[in-house]
Amino acid sequence: MDVLRATESYGLKVDGGHSKLVLDALKSDMDAAFDAKVTTLAADQGIIAPILASHSVLGCDYPRYYAFGAELRSKSGKYGGGTLQDEASLALAKWQARGCTNAVLTEIRNAFAIAAPTPPS
């Protein structure tokens, strides 16, 4: 073990100036990622809120439906086709078991342009 190298490495870990330089280099990327996420969440809420209002969902239940929408958005970025339909169906069943209304969940799924899965023939 090289004692000099280990001491230098430890010194960088505890040096506040070095940590600030590293974080400053990452800050613009972190800000951009945060802005993109907030924009996406706001757009999703803009899609979901009118659906919830049309079904007279109580305001205290909105976060659960927003979470369902966020889960659908996440899955639509990872999957496609039949796999996405199956994943959305599983998410719908999960949120229905948590007390959300099936009709509202189905309308939210349709608003995200995810079709219902077709049974195998």
pLDDT digits (tens, 9 = 90+) for 47-87: 999 999 999 999 999 999 999 999 999 999 999 988 999 99
Q: Where are the chain's structural domains?
A: 3-111
User: Domain 3-111 class?
Assistant: mainly alpha
Q: Can you tell me which residue has the tokens 């077709």?
A: 118
Residue 48 tokens, joined: 């979901």
pTM, whole model, 2 decimals? Answer: 0.76
- 85, 117 in Cβ contact below 8 A? yes
